């Protein structure tokens, strides 16, 4: 995979003019999908309620500390500055310096200030694309995967920060990287296998955000791999589950009866 997908995300995230207000940017095709007007109203209402709740909790927290804290506007200006530096480092492929700014962004996230969904979605997409770059040291890849999951913040006991209407991730680039992991015999002496294990974790975290309308194409790719010769490879169900999309389960009925009969005969 080339750097072009990363540069595409960077161009939509923040230009090199870091003084631009990233919170005024409109959503684009990277992070949003079309939904009905009724769905928009309901989602907006839920988002507003969640944001109000987060702001109320933030104010309670700020009031409890024995020192003065930044206002929401000030902290968002700092976020804009941090994102601008991350963009510059990614453009320059300076991963060492970028790791420093990744750490600064982690500190920002720990301060409990709300992050607008558009900028969160684009940052998630940025780190997703970075994880798919070839030739990256596992140590660096692990830090990007960590940033990816921190920004997603998909905790079982809390409301998700991003819904499928806020973020869509491409599954094909990830699948191209993971295909080598299916065939066990070819990966024992693969120096990149540690990196692939990290990508498996990223795929597991990403599966909710793969486009639901592409399930038939995904099945057309995965199902033919399950044959009498490969069914004993225990990794196939695991890798397949990494790409299974949770929404729209009825779409799975599109698997042809022929394919189902073939699977039943194994």
Residue 251 CB-half CA count within 13 A: 16
Q: Is residue 37 part of a domain?
A: yes
Q: What is the rounded CA–CA span in Å between residue 218 and residue 221?
A: 5
User: Measured between alpha carbons, how far is residue 141 from residues 6, 145, 218 in Å?
Assistant: 14, 6, 26
With beta carbons less than 8 A apart as the criterion, state whether 129 and 146 touch.
Answer: no
- Residue-range definition of the domain harbouring residue 101: 4-168
Q: Is residue 84 part of a domain?
A: yes
- Kindly report, residue by residue over 227-255, the tens digit of the pLDDT: 766 655 545 445 555 555 555 556 555 55
Nearest alpha carbon to residue 72 among 112, 21, 113 = 113
Q: Is residue 187 part of a domain?
A: no
Q: In sequence order, what E strands does the chain have?
A: none
- Kindly report, residue by residue over 82-126, the tens digit of the pLDDT: 999 999 999 899 999 999 999 999 999 988 888 888 999 999 999
Q: Is residue 230 part of a domain?
A: no
Q: Is residue 258 part of a domain?
A: no
pLDDT band at 7 (very low <50, low <70, confident <90, very high): low
- pTM as predicted: 0.74
With beta carbons less than 8 A apart as the criterion, state whether 131 and 145 touch.
Answer: yes
With beta carbons less than 8 A apart as the criterion, state whether 252 and 220 touch.
Answer: no
With beta carbons less than 8 A apart as the criterion, state whether 259 and 223 touch.
Answer: yes
Q: Is residue 201 part of a domain?
A: no
Q: What is the rounded CA–CA span in Å between residue 158 and residue 49?
A: 14
Q: Is residue 15 part of a domain?
A: yes
Residue 87 C-alpha from the chain's centroid: 17
How many domains does the structure of the chain reveal?
1
Start-to-end CA distance of the chain, whole Å, equals: 35
CB neighbours of residue 224 within 10 Å: 11
Report the residue count for the chain: 266
Q: Is residue 115 part of a domain?
A: yes
pLDDT reported for residue 245: 53
- Kindly report, residue by residue over 29-76, the tens digit of the pLDDT: 333 333 344 445 555 566 677 777 777 887 888 888 888 888 888 988
């Amino acid at each position: 995979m080339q750097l072009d997908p990363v540069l595409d995300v960077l161009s939509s995230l923040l230009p090199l003019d870091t003084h631009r207000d990233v919170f005024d940017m409109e959503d684009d095709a990277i992070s949003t999908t079309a939904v009905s007007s009724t769905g928009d109203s309901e989602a907006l209402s839920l988002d507003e309620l969640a944001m109000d709740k987060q702001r109320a909790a933030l104010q309670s927290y700020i009031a409890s500390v024995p020192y003065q804290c930044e206002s929401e506007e000030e902290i968002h200006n700092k976020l804009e500055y941090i994102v601008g530096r991350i963009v510059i480092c990614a453009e320059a492929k300076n991963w060492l310096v970028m790791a420093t700014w990744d750490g600064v962004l982690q500190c920002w996230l720990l301060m409990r200030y709300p992050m607008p969904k558009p900028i969160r979605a684009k940052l998630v997409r940025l780190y997703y694309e970075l994880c798919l770059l070839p030739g990256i040291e596992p140590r660096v890849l692990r830090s990007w995967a960590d940033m990816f999951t921190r920004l997603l913040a998909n905790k079982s006991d809390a409301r998700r920060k991003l819904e499928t209407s806020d973020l869509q991730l491409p599954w094909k680039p990830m699948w191209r990287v993971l295909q080598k992991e299916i065939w066990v015999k070819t990966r024992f002496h693969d120096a990149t296998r540690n990196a692939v294990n990290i990508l498996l974790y990223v795929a597991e975290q990403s599966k909710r955000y793969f486009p639901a309308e592409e399930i038939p194409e995904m099945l057309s790719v995965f199902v033919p791999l399950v044959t009498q010769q490969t069914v004993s490879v225990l990794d196939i169900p695991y890798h397949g589950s990494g790409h299974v999309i949770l929404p729209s389960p009825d779409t799975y009925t599109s698997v042809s009866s022929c394919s189902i009969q073939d699977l039943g005969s194994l």
